[in-house]
Structure formats: structure tokens, C-alpha cells
Structure 1
């Protein structure tokens, strides 16, 4: 059964879904944009959980294109799936890295038995990726996805991003 895809303008930290995807930095210790908003809304327990990951299985941080989960803490979502998008300004321009972020996030959601996931426009902000490229890669990845997540909601912070994603979604179905 195919997943239902939604595209909405809003605040990812308020979404009533099983899991939200955090466009994290590799340190997992917070940052700006989506990462900062999620850390602020989830509360200090999230930082402690991320520090525990760094002290344990991820001493060098989370690699680009990979994903890991923590509880949602103060968010309505039960889980936060952290993924590190490629940074074009740092020379990370391989589309496979961005595809891996979306794919690995959905795979981690499957491992958690999450049925609904909210995703941001990974790498489309400070990491310098063209929003149209991000949207095309996101929808190509979703089209190839065949797991247990039944609702995939792209939660975008601006009307411009919503329009870019809606256009890419239409094109992906043609």
C-alpha cells in the first residue's frame, strides 16, 4: 500500500505524528533552523539523549546521510529521527547523500513502527541546496519507499517552499 503524501506550511514541532525528522548537524547537540526549533520545543532531555548517543554509539557524531532516533520528549510526536543532510557549502553536493537522508529516516521510522512521519526540506536552508532539487530527490525517494509508514507529511516553513514541493510532487506523478 502506498503512503499518503501531504505538503503543509507550518511548524514541524507541533505536528501530531508518530515521528518528526530533524535536519540535524553531525554533533546532534542542536543548532539553528529546524534543529534549533526541535531542540527548543523538545526540552533539555533531548540534549541529554543526544549527548548519550555521542558518549556511546556515535562518538564522532552522526555521519551525513544517516539517521538515528531519540524519544520526542516535549513534542507531540513520540519520536525524533535525526538525520544529517549534506552541506553544499562544504562541498557535499552528491544527490545520493540527500537521498540517503530521506530513505534512512523512513527506514528508522519503520524500525520504530511509526505510521506517520513529518519531514522538513532537508538541506534546503543554511546547507545551501536548491529547494527544487531537494523536493525532486525527496519525492523520488518517497516513490521508491515500500515500508510501513502510511502518512508522509512534508512540513515546510514558507509558502514558497510549499509551492516548490507541490510542483515537484505533481511532476513526480506525471
Structure 2
């Protein structure tokens, strides 16, 4: 088992080989969906390529994991997991299976580091605290020798307001 770190920030800003995207198992074509959360950020910053690749795999079984390129993002790959059901809900099983299968894929591809969002929190309906506890517990059981980062999303105020850079405190409104 690798070292597990917990941090607050943006998943897409982590210095890792691969990131995990909590995708749903929806059968609606990717181009008809309006991605939210991590998927939306990947689409905005990384382009459409990862989602085109993902579409070739069809519906992902609940808890399953699929590897794609990272598009224009600086990672070796994105691992998409089906952490929420067709009804947009997560369960303990879907969260644990998603963690286990993502790390198995990362180990198979010999990645040295991976960052995961809180799978099943937010859109999936799980509380951040409960999801973090489940993920931490599950990730201690997997055989991945690399660095594992669980990222609790925290959007900077300046990004939320659409600025291209932080505004010094003296210039804040």
C-alpha cells in the first residue's frame, strides 16, 4: 500500500501520473450530457478527447474503471470510475469498488501517483465526511505502491469570481 494523503484544492492541479474522474454509468451519449464537477472541469481544461475515448467503452459497470488519455491535461491518463448509478446516487459498494478498481488499473499501468476526488459525494448524494472515511478505509486495503492523494475540492475565491489570477487583499472588493 502506498502513502495516502488528504488535501484540499483542485484535482486538476495535482502533480500526479493519473487522476480519477467519478463518471456515472449513464447510457446517454457523452455529447448529450452537460458534465458537472470533475467531468466538467476536465472537459473545460482538457478537451473532449477523454470523453470520446470513454464513449467507446460503452456503459461502465457500477464500481468499474476505464482508462483514457488525459487530453490536454498534464497527466499520463485519466481513470474514469462509475461511482454513481443511473439514478445519480452513490452507495458504499460503488464507492469502495470504484476506489479498488481505479487503484488496480493504476498499479497495472505502473503509475507512481494518483489523485482521487471524493467519489460519490456531491452529485452522488454522499456526505463528504462519510465518503472520505469510506475511501480512506478502502484505500488502505489495496496493493498500490505509489502515492495516493484524496482531493477535497476547494475552489479559490478568485477562480469562483472568474479572475485570471488572485487579487491581492488590498484590491479585494
Instruction: Normalising by structure 2, report the TM-score.
Output: 0.78
- For 1:120 and 1:143, the matched residues in 2 are separated by 16
- For 2:37 and 2:80, the matched residues in 1 are separated by 14
- For 2:88 and 2:55, the matched residues in 1 are separated by 27
Counterparts of residues 23-34 of structure 1 (less than 5 Å)? 23-27=22-26, 29=30, 31-34=35-38
After superposition, the C-alpha distances for 1:24-74 in whole angstroms (9 at most, x for unaligned) are 122482611111111222212223212333xxxx2xx11211111001121
State whether residues 25 and 35 of structure 1, in contact with CA within 8 Å, keep that contact through their aligned partners in structure 2. no
In the alignment, structure 2 segments of 5+ residues that lack a partner are: 156-173
* Moved >3 Å (runs of 4+): 89-94
In the alignment, structure 1 segments of 5+ residues that lack a partner are: 160-174
SS class of match (2:56) = helix
The partner residue of 2:107 within 107, 110, 128 is 110
* Distance change >3 Å, CA 44–CA 134, structure 1 → 2: same
RMSD across aligned positions (CA): 2.2
Does residue 125 of the first structure (1) align with residue 129 of the second (2)? Answer: no
Q: Greater helix share, 1 or 2?
A: 1
Instruction: Normalising by structure 1, report the TM-score.
Output: 0.77
Counterparts of residues 142-157 of structure 1 (less than 5 Å)? 142-148=139-145, 150-157=146-153
Structure ID, larger Rg: 2
Q: How far does residue 86 in structure 1 lie from its aligned partner after superposition? A: 2.9
Q: How far does residue 156 in structure 1 lie from its aligned partner after superposition? A: 1.5
- For 2:117 and 2:56, the matched residues in 1 are separated by 25
* Distance change >3 Å, CA 86–CA 25, structure 1 → 2: closer
- For 2:80 and 2:88, the matched residues in 1 are separated by 21
SS class of match (2:122) = coil
Which residue of 1 is the match for residue 55 of structure 2? 51
State whether residues 116 and 151 of structure 1, in contact with CA within 8 Å, keep that contact through their aligned partners in structure 2. yes
